[in-house]
Structure formats: structure tokens, C-alpha cells
Amino acid sequence: MKARITLLGLAAGLGLFFAGGAALAQCCAPPPPTCCAPPPPPSTPPCCTPGHNVNIPGVNVFVAPTVVVNASARASAGASAGGGAGAMVFFGGGGGGGGYAPPSATGLISGLNVGGGVKRVAYQATRTRTKRVVIQAVCIDDRQIPHPASQVRADREINDLYDGELYRCIAGASLQATISEYEGRIDFSKGETMACAKGQALYHAPGGKVDCRRQKPARDCNERSLLRRFGAGVKILTMTVVETYTAYREEQSEAVLTSMSIDGGVGGVAY
């Protein structure tokens, strides 16, 4: 009987020993490798909404694969800054890459007409007109002393069809004629001067053209004989003159068609 009790106590003690050893082995076993640990469940802070909107008065920052920083009241990720004032767009992703887009023009004006219109342009023009004139002529010698020029004919009124010399000078002198408009009386106070070179006479061509031409050969003392015969006189005739004046014309300036992009924001850029 005593031996049976001893065997039972021994068996119980061995059971406790093995159970304690198993518990000790399990407690001291190394932790499982971290690669096998399950990922922690995602947590969303209850105070924030998906997309991490951070509302700052006048500025909206939207943190996402694309970040839009806009000075307008609202902006969306990936949306164009249509009504924004100088929007900046940042592109980013989970892999660390990113980019930046500067403010872009939001308005486009096509077919812009630049520089078109009508303008007045000044130019030099000529016109031909006839006027009734009176002429007197003198001869200037080498000492700059004037002498009466010799009339070639005695007629005071010169016909429009006359073709020939009006006045001439002796050799070595130059002819100078004063021409003034004739209005019923002779007045040279507002006359114009025509100077001829030495050896030239004042010539009248049909149609009322008066100019300086090489005088026709004549015998010696011819001019003195003419002066004694016809004296110093004036000539009245209808003269054709060509006037130069400043005129104006209207021109259509060429228009330049182009396009322009504009940014509506403060501090924006116009292209």
C-alpha cells in the first residue's frame, strides 16, 4: 500500500516537471521573424477627410498624386486653374517623383487685329496751272551792276503761240528776270526771280512756257541796237507754271493678325 502511494506521487511529480518544462520552452522561444508579421491595419484620423484637405483662408492645399496650390477660394486636384489667380500645380506620387507646372495663361484671343486703320500720309505733289504775269529783265555784269536787258520785239502783250526770245544780254553778262502776277496793274513787290547763266536769253515757247535757253548767235552790238530801238520795257503774257506743294492722302495701314493669351490673376503673365 505504501509503495502504490509512492509511485503515484512520483508520476504526479514527473507530470508537473514536464509541463513546467514545456511552458518554460514556450515562454523563452524567439519571436517569429518580422517578415511574417501581418501589416498593421490602415488608420484614418477621424479629424481629417480623405485627400488631406487643409483649408487656409484664401488658400487651398490638396495633398494627393497631384497637388494644386491656388490663391482662389477653391481648387481641385488635377483640375485646371480656370478662374484662379496665378495657380501653381505640383505633381507627385507615392514613388517619390514629382513635378511643377508654372502659372499658365487662361484666356486666348484669336485673330487680334493690331495696327489696322486709316492714316493721313503727307507727300510732295505737282500741279500745272496758268496765270497772267508781267515780266521785266536786267543784265548783271561782272561787277554785279544791273543794266536794262534788250527786248527782242516791241510787243508788250505776248501771244501764247509766240516761239522765240523775249530778252537777251550782251556777252559777259547774265540775265535776271522778275516775274509777278498781273492783276491789271504792274507791281513787282511780290515777284519771283529767275536767273539765267551767261550766254542765255529768256525764251518763250508756245503754250506759255518761259525758261532760260542759249541765246541765238547775233552780230556784234546787236543788243545795244535792240535797246536803242525798243528800249527797256515789260512783257505781259499768260504763263504756264508747274508748282510743287505738300498734299495728303489716306492710306489703309496693314493689319497684323495675331493671337494673345492672358491670365486673369493679379501678378499673372500675359503672352
Residues 145 and 217 occupy one common structural domain? yes
Residues 135 and 100 occupy one common structural domain? no
Residues 203 and 147 occupy one common structural domain? yes
Looking at the structure of the chain, the number of domains it has is 2
Annotate 178-197 with b (16+ C-beta within 10 A) or e (fewer): ebbebeeeeeeeebeebebe
* DSSP code of residue 157: B
Q: What is the pLDDT of residue 231?
A: 86
Residue 265 lies in a domain: no
Residue 78 lies in a domain: yes
Residue 115 lies in a domain: no
Cα distances from 196 to residues 3, 74, 168, 180, in angstroms, run: 174, 90, 10, 17
- Domain around 213: 127-247
The residues of the chain scoring below 70 in pLDDT are 1-39, 41-116, 254-271
Residue 254 lies in a domain: no
Residues 242 and 132 occupy one common structural domain? yes
Residue 119 lies in a domain: no
- Distance CA(165)–CA(226), nearest Å, equals 12
pLDDT tens for each residue of 3-35? 454 444 554 544 544 454 444 445 445 555 555
C-alpha cell belonging to residue 192: 519771283
- Distance CA(92)–CA(51), nearest Å, equals 13
Q: What is the pLDDT of residue 60?
A: 54
Residues 238 and 131 occupy one common structural domain? yes
Residue 186 lies in a domain: yes
Residue 146 lies in a domain: yes
Residue 121 lies in a domain: no
Q: What is the pLDDT of residue 129?
A: 87
Rounded to two decimals, what is the model's pTM?
0.47
